[in-house]
Amino acid sequence: MSRIGKRPVELPKGVTASVSGQTVEVKGPKGTRSFSATDDVTIAMDGDAITVTPRGTSKRARQQWGMSRSMVANLVEGVSTGFRKELEINGVGYRANMQGNVLKLSLGYSHEVNFDVPQGVTVTTPKQTEIVVEGIDQQLVGQVAANIREWRAPEPYKGKGIKYKDEYIFRKEGKKK
């Protein structure tokens, strides 16, 4: 019995959903998203909630049950509140700024890194050392944040690089004489 899958997904105010076959379409104040589930689960509307039930007792059906429920819950959260990842830049001379749809990063390389922001995600720089990635698609927001972080991952000796705001960098002690 899936602990996640058996809970219905409640729809908050301002969010509407429609189920047609295996496809769920959710509309909210931030936009519209849809998800197509596999044939191993059944998706149904119960008033102002969406329920997901498995079609059998096979291992695949049970796996898809919890995953499909999580995907639907993420759709609802995305169109109602959205997703957000905050990045922090540490290092002397390391900074970021937005110019149009391009994030310009100075990360200690001999050149400036230009990161093109994909459609569906907004990137802002409240300070020169902070980057905020926001959007309604959780996977896309996380992937964009990971791609930005990849340009200069934090190193363990001085902690220089781009890290998530809530990330802990395990620090190492340097060489001793």
What is the per-residue pLDDT across 20-45, written as a single tens digit (0 to 9) for each?
989 999 999 999 999 999 999 999 99
Question: What string of H, E and C letters represents the secondary structure of 54-94?
Answer: ECCCCHHHHHHHHHHHHHHHHHHHHHHCCEEEEEEEECCCC
Final residue of a domain: which of 80, 115, 131?
80
Q: Is residue 175 part of a domain?
A: no
For residue 169, is it within any domain?
no
Pair of tokens at residue 70:
């999580």
Same domain, 27 and 71: yes
- Shared domain for 33 and 102, answered yes or no, is no
Dihedral over alpha carbons 169, 145, 87, 170 (to 10 degrees): 0
CATH number, domain with residue 155: 3.90.930.12
Contact present, 127 and 94 (Cβ < 8 Å): no
pLDDT of 1 higher than 70: no
Of 175, 173, 153, 174, the residue nearest 164 (C-alpha): 153
- Provide the number of structural domains found in the chain: 2
2 domain residue, yes or no: no
- Segment 120-130 shows an average pLDDT of 94
Instruction: Please report the sign of the dihedral spanned by the C-alpha atoms of residue 60, residue 37, residue 81, residue 15.
Output: negative
pLDDT over 90 at 5, yes or no: no
Give pLDDT, residue 175. 87
* pLDDT of residue 4 exceeding 90: no
pTM: 0.87
pLDDT tens-digit profile of 67-124?
999 999 999 999 999 999 999 999 999 999 999 999 999 999 999 999 999 999 999 9
Query: Would 32 be classed as within a structural domain?
Result: yes
Please say which residue of 32, 58, 80 terminates a domain: 80
Mean pLDDT across the stretch 3-8? 87
How far apart are alpha carbons 127 and 161 in whole angstroms? 16
In a domain, 177, yes or no: no
Residues 42 and 64 occupy one common structural domain: yes
Range of the domain at 128: 83-164
| Final residue belonging to a domain, choices 80, 114, 139 | 80
Q: Is 104 inside any structural domain?
A: yes
Whether the predicted pLDDT of 170 surpasses 90 = yes
- The rounded percent of the chain whose pLDDT value lies above 90 is 85
128-132 mean pLDDT:
95
